[in-house]
Homo-oligomer: A and B are copies of this chain.
């Protein structure tokens, strides 16, 4: 079964492989059932584009809160796919271009390059920044947006196959912009939701010296956050724990800081 490919370590080959790995600083931690389901669905679409003649073109949107691991999951799927052509486009890929005309020309070129390979994958990371979305005055680059949406929906030339993975942490904005309707499928990516899941993350990542320290950290977070609901992205948890190691009192510093981050991302909690 092709889904087993998920657990194999065989890396994708190609120019962008190390770039993909950079998005997996802390690897993938299976802190919830949904992580496995996301990867299963992703690989089904990978297979579908590879073999189905009438579905040789497909686009999938990964959406979820800030820091929840969207980019890492897309990179992981890409590395496992074995596709000969894989290209990651991020807002940073576009920042050096003069204006949105030059940016859209670059995006167009990347798609044109992808069309040259018989089997290609494009990752469009962080759609809301790519279109230069700014909630004040609902500013954005309609040039980039229209280019992206049109290219998303255009099939590659005959005999060519293309899978597009995109990520966003602003799904509702993407819906208002009629961008979600341009995708064939959508996959939600969850935050770390409760102290149990947080415990799995901290243990698996070996962030503290002992499991007693982990317990203590969970207790501290629970006190500060005064709730069982965590609702914070896995990237925030991992980087905060990493900094905490330098503090004189890592466990407490971690708890206090993470509670601050939880409050920042969940203002009404």
Cβ-defined partner of A246 (8 Å) among B52, B101, B176: B52
Q: How many copies does the complex hold?
A: 6
**Interface residues of A, count at CB 8 A:** 62
Q: Does A213 contact B (CB under 8 A)?
A: no
Known: A146-B129, A239-B55. A136 touches B177 (CB 8 A): yes
Kindly provide the distance from the CB of A69 to the nearest chain B CB, expressed in whole angstroms: 15
Q: Does A247 contact B (CB under 8 A)?
A: yes
Cβ-defined partner of A150 (8 Å) among B92, B145, B243: B92
Known: A95-B150, A176-B135, A242-B54. A247 touches B44 (CB 8 A): yes
- In the bound complex, residues from chain B placing their C-beta under 8 Å from that of A176 are 135-136
**A139 CA / B176 CA spacing, docked (Å):** 12
**A25 CA / B158 CA spacing, docked (Å):** 12
Q: Does A215 contact B (CB under 8 A)?
A: no
Per the 8 Å Cβ criterion, residues 220-253 of A in contact with B are 238-239, 242-243, 245-248
Q: Assess the A142–B134 pair: CB atoms within 8 A.
A: yes
Cβ-defined partner of A149 (8 Å) among B52, B105, B129: B129
- In the bound complex, residues from chain B placing their C-beta under 8 Å from that of A26 are 54
Per the 8 Å Cβ criterion, residues 125-155 of A in contact with B are 129, 132-140, 142-143, 145-147, 149-151, 153-155
Q: Assess the A243–B129 pair: CB atoms within 8 A.
A: no
Cβ-defined partner of A52 (8 Å) among B22, B132, B150, B243: B243
Known: A54-B26, A91-B150, A154-B92. A177 touches B134 (CB 8 A): yes
Cβ-defined partner of A158 (8 Å) among B22, B133, B153: B22
- In the bound complex, residues from chain B placing their C-beta under 8 Å from that of A22 are 155, 158
Cβ-defined partner of A145 (8 Å) among B1, B134, B149: B134
Cβ-defined partner of A51 (8 Å) among B137, B238, B246: B246
Nearest opposing residue in chain B for A45, CB measure: B243
Known: A25-B54, A146-B129, A150-B91. A101 touches B99 (CB 8 A): yes
Q: 8 closest A-B pairs (Cβ-Cβ)? A: A92-B154, A91-B150, A132-B146, A139-B142, A48-B243, A95-B150, A55-B242, A137-B138
List 11 A–B pairs whose Cβ atoms lie within 8 Å, in order of A's numbering: A45-B243, A48-B243, A52-B246, A91-B150, A95-B147, A98-B105, A129-B146, A129-B150, A134-B140, A134-B145, A136-B140
Given contacts A66-B181, A92-B154, A134-B140, 15 further A-B pairs with CB under 8 A are A22-B158, A48-B242, A52-B243, A55-B239, A92-B150, A92-B151, A94-B150, A96-B108, A98-B101, A132-B146, A133-B178, A136-B138, A136-B176, A136-B177, A184-B239
